[in-house]
């Protein structure tokens, strides 16, 4: 069982609807889903299955049909485990940014705050998407005012914008002060680049948009995690 922090229902719906019907039963068996889920997956309409049932089947399909890699050597779809610092709790109609380190790799996951578990926007609210590079670019250039208390800001006013998008991602990852949580995740890669830090050390920046983020069995220890 997973303790989910974030599930993109938009991505789940989009991907689940594309799985060929004939593969659903096989995927359900391979994923060791409950027999009830198997039968529901073969019935019409498909929405009879829950979001988590559909997520399990989408994940099984991606593992079977796609090259799902690790975050340090990401392909189009990649997994990871890291102590993530999450910014974006607040406005359910805003963005969320989750960042963490794995050696010389910095991962940044961009999504919509409404997909945070227990943080869903009301149906009448406008639905803006933040799961692409344009959304991340806008966020890094003009961060929400309420985010500033989550960062170690050394200048007055808004967080300064400078450099490339990957340099800004690194700056945000290094300045976030919210406590980290060890998480497992599966994400779609948006961007990968190498940045040289002020100390001369090169780091790889991997930007993705998550299908899901769940709490890991590991526990982050202290602020330096």
What does the pLDDT profile of the chain (225 residues) look like in tens digits? Answer: 899 999 999 999 999 999 988 888 788 777 665 545 555 555 544 446 789 989 999 999 999 899 999 999 999 999 999 999 988 765 667 788 899 999 999 999 998 888 888 765 555 545 556 666 656 666 666 665 555 555 554 443 444 444 577 888 888 888 888 889 999 999 999 989 999 888 889 999 999 999 999 999 876 565 444
Rounded alpha-carbon distances, angstroms, from residue 58 to 9, 15, 70, 209: 11, 7, 18, 15
- Ramachandran sector of residue 88 (left: φ over 0; alpha: ψ -120 to 50; beta: rest): left
Burial (CB < 10 A; 0-12, 13-18, 19+), residue 79, is middle
Can you tell me the distance from the alpha carbon of 125 to that of 203, in angstroms, rounded to the nearest whole number? Answer: 39
Residue entry with tokens 């069995």: 217
Assess contact for 203 and 170: CB atoms under 8 A. Answer: yes
Residue entry with tokens 């800004």: 168
Contacts of 200 (CB under 8 A, 6+ apart): none
Q: Where are the alpha helices (DSSP H) in the chain?
A: 9-16, 21-30, 35-41, 51-65, 133-141, 165-175
- Kindly report the pTM of this predicted structure: 0.78
């Amino acid at each position: 069982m997973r303790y989910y922090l974030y599930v993109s229902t938009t991505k789940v719906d989009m991907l689940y609807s594309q799985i060929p019907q004939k593969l659903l039963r096989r995927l359900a068996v391979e994923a060791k889903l409950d027999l009830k889920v198997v039968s529901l997956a073969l019935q019409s309409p498909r929405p009879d299955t829950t979001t988590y049932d559909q997520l399990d089947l989408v994940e099984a399909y991606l593992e079977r049909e796609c090259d799902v890699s690790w975050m340090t050597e990401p392909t189009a779809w990649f997994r990871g485990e890291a102590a993530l610092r999450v910014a974006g709790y607040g406005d359910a109609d805003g963005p969320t940014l989750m960042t963490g380190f794995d050696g010389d790799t910095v991962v940044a996951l961009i999504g919509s705050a409404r997909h945070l578990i227990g943080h869903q926007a009301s149906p009448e609210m406008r639905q803006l998407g933040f799961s692409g590079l344009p959304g991340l670019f806008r966020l890094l250039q003009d961060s929400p005012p309420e985010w500033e208390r989550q960062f170690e800001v050394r200048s007055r006013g808004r967080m300064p914008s400078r450099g490339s998008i990957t340099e800004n991602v690194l700056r945000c990852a290094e300045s976030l002060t919210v406590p980290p949580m060890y998480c497992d995740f599966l994400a779609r890669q948006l961007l990968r680049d190498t940045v040289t830090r002020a100390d001369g050390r090169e780091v790889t920046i991997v930007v993705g948009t998550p299908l899901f983020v769940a709490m890991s069995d590991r526990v982050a220890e202290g602020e330096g995690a």
